[in-house]
Amino acid sequence: MSNNNIVNIEYNRVTNVTSTDFPSYSQNSATMTVWDTEKFKNNLDIEIKSLEERDCNFDLKHVDTSIANAFRRIMISEVPSVAAEAVYIYNNTSVLQDEVLAHRIGLIPLQIDPEELTWCESNGENEENPDSKYTDKNTIVLTLDVACTRNVNAPKGCIDPKILYHNSSVYSRDLKFQPEGNQAEIFANKPVVPCDDDILICKLRPGQEISLRVHCILGVGADHAKFSPVSTASYRLLPHINLLKDFTGESAKRLQKCFPEGVIGIDEDGKAYVKDARKDTVSREVLRYDEFKDHVKLGRIRDHFIFNVESTGAMTPEEIFFKSVRILKSKAEYLKNCPISQ
């Protein structure tokens, strides 16, 4: 691996971070001075490390930072999902103000397939009925009707509100889907429910109740965070650790303690080796000691990105990434076909 591909991590600074004029170009490289699409396609590699229902960890290799960051930004702010847009409150005698209650409902992730809805176009501010833009093609309606009452069968001396009262806490599972048009057929095999049942909306006491309707539409995170399909989408460069000399015995054990568990291993002969650089957090702890600072080189591989994508539950993390790829592709095609102004 060339030194130019390593971002050097020193005790009090980071070096070799100069940006390039375009991806894959380097002033120190005589072999790659122009963009080569075929070479990019052959070198690009994606390695999935873990894939779960809501969390995905994968490596994106041999790409420029601009491309990796484009995927990250698109996943956060441009992949569409469905969230509450308008809340119509008919009755709210809880301790929460109407706007606070609406805000909490708006941030509840919804398990609704965005492919089944069309975009909601604005009718303008001057129309007599601005809500006419909501139709069964672009809107999902949820209802919430909950009233708190006393439990007459509660044991004497009980102080637990969940036993003393019925509906003492209002959860996301209390939001019910109200099909409009042919939505009952469209979503017959795709239940319209919150991604998590136990998100607390508010607490009620006897005599208090909430009655409201929620209109949910398509949107993107660039407009509001509630539309973002990810709770986090991040990447970091793969750490690179180079041991310039052999460390054995007690020296190897001291070296091992300078890194997180699992980074440095010790073989049968008592010699230290880099076991798994991926687990390193690049804390630079090892550079504090004279024994190691001139014999251990830390860095990060500039074209090896470790991605972690955590979905809110509306879509699987792999689906979110695939959609980000398609969005980036459409952007590139648009720019390619866009006429150049004279």
- 99-139: pLDDT as tens digits: 999 999 999 999 999 999 999 886 655 456 666 788 999 99
Structural domain contains residue 269? no
Helices (H) and strands (E) in the chain, counts: 8, 18
Query: Is residue 98 domain-shared with residue 187, that is, in the same domain?
Result: yes
Query: Is residue 17 domain-shared with residue 145, that is, in the same domain?
Result: no
Structural domain contains residue 183? yes
Q: In this predicted model, what pLDDT tens digit does every residue of 289-300 receive, in sequence order?
A: 999 989 999 999
pLDDT in the model for residue 274: 96
- Inform me whether the pLDDT recorded for 177 exceeds 60: yes
Q: In this predicted model, what pLDDT tens digit does every residue of 6-54 receive, in sequence order?
A: 999 999 999 888 766 566 565 555 555 577 788 888 889 999 999 999 9
Query: What is the residue type of 12?
Result: N
- Inform me whether the pLDDT recorded for 151 exceeds 90: yes
DSSP 139: -
CA 51 to CA 249: how far, in whole Å?
39
Name residue, tokens 């991590």: 9
Helix, strand or coil, per DSSP, at residue 92: strand
Query: Is residue 37 domain-shared with residue 87, that is, in the same domain?
Result: no
Structure confidence at residue 305 as a pLDDT band (50, 70, 90): very high
Query: Is residue 73 domain-shared with residue 88, that is, in the same domain?
Result: no
Query: What is the residue type of 213?
Result: R
Query: Is residue 85 domain-shared with residue 207, that is, in the same domain?
Result: yes
pLDDT in the model for residue 194: 95
Query: Is residue 63 domain-shared with residue 129, that is, in the same domain?
Result: no
Query: Is residue 87 domain-shared with residue 200, that is, in the same domain?
Result: yes
User: Which is it for the CA torsion 276, 278, 280, 284, positive or negative?
Assistant: positive
pLDDT in the model for residue 51: 95
Q: What is the CATH number of the domain that holds 182?
A: 2.170.120.12
Query: Is residue 92 domain-shared with residue 67, that is, in the same domain?
Result: no
Query: Is residue 174 domain-shared with residue 133, that is, in the same domain?
Result: yes
Q: In this predicted model, what pLDDT tens digit does every residue of 164-175 receive, in sequence order?
A: 999 999 999 999
How far are the Cα atoms of 5, 42, 45, 115 from residue 62, in angstroms, in the given order?
10, 10, 7, 32
Structural domain contains residue 176? yes
Question: How many domains, the chain?
Answer: 2
pLDDT in the model for residue 144: 97
Structural domain contains residue 90? yes
Q: With 0-12 CB in 10 A as exposed, 13-18 as middle and 19+ as buried, what is 328?
A: middle
Average pLDDT over residues 47-68: 93
Query: Is residue 58 domain-shared with residue 99, that is, in the same domain?
Result: no
Structural domain contains residue 254? no
Query: Is residue 147 domain-shared with residue 217, that is, in the same domain?
Result: yes
Structural domain contains residue 122? yes
Domain that holds residue 60: 3-78+231-244+295-308
Structural domain contains residue 215? yes
Structural domain contains residue 333? no
Q: What is the CATH number of the domain that holds 61?
A: 3.30.1360.10
Q: In this predicted model, what pLDDT tens digit does every residue of 218-241 receive, in sequence order?
A: 999 999 999 999 999 999 999 999
Average pLDDT over residues 3-8: 84
pLDDT in the model for residue 275: 95
Query: Is residue 73 domain-shared with residue 94, that is, in the same domain?
Result: no
